[in-house]
Chains A and B, each alone.
Chain A
Amino acid sequence: GEDVEQSLFLSVREGDSSVINCTYTDSSSTYLYWYKQEPGAGLQLLTYIFSNMDMKQDQRLTVLLNKKDKHLSLRIADTQTGDSAIYFCAESRYSSASKIIFGSGTRLSIRP
């Protein structure tokens, strides 16, 4: 199937780490992405990982990929109010050039 699944909501306290999880079904996935959508705006690419990697770190962001379990996560360290947004997991596949499948998005809210 084409499913990419995420939980819909996540609430964290300011300063804590946020972990957003995603599962996908297609083992031919080659690239996996995290996009951020702020209110009233388009999607902005945060980071991506190639399927032969386990981890990628970029400043406060850490992406972990468990290819065996088809599980992707995004960890945001020291979560700030500006991190409030919807986070979309997405995958692309070698067999479907130019097509990216998006998850339903996780709405991250920050508590003071």
Chain B
Amino acid sequence: DTAVSQTPKYLVTQMGNDKSIKCEQNLGHDTMYWYKQDSKKFLKIMFSYNNKELIINETVPNRFSPKSPDKAHLNLHINSLELGDSAVYFCASSRPKAGGVADTQYFGPGTRLTVL
């Protein structure tokens, strides 16, 4: 199936731990994103990579470190997890339209992170 996939779907961990979330897309897109959706469903962009290069880095604690080994993968590593990191994290991908205008974004199913 062509899609954006994320693992794991659920992640429950203790405060202070380090964890990673993985994302893969087989849509042939150049750009990938990480979003955080809080309990009120507000969706906020965290990072964006284009062809393995970081192009968007919003105000995110540096405990969050994205890594893109190739343009089909974008992983998110989180150090020293805090209670406030509990949220659903969505990966997305897109292929920019000509002229640099953002194209449609396709979302993964999300990873629900719970920090205890």
Contacts and interface: CB of A to CB of B under 8 A. Distances in A.
A24 interface: no
B55 A98 contact: yes
A99 B102 contact: yes
Contacts, number: 65
Contacts of B43: 43, 88, 102, 105
What is the size category of the interface that chain B forms with chain A? 20 to 34
A78 to B, nearest CB: 26
B50 A98 contact: yes
Contact of A98 (B42, B44, B102, B107): B102
Given A42-B108, A98-B31, A98-B48, A105 B41 contact: yes
Interface residues of A, number: 25
Interface in B77-106: 90, 92, 94, 96, 99-102, 104-106
Interface string A61-103: 0000000000000000000000000101000111011111010
By Cβ-Cβ distance, the 6 closest A-B pairs, closest first, are A97-B100, A92-B102, A42-B107, A43-B107, A102-B43, A42-B109
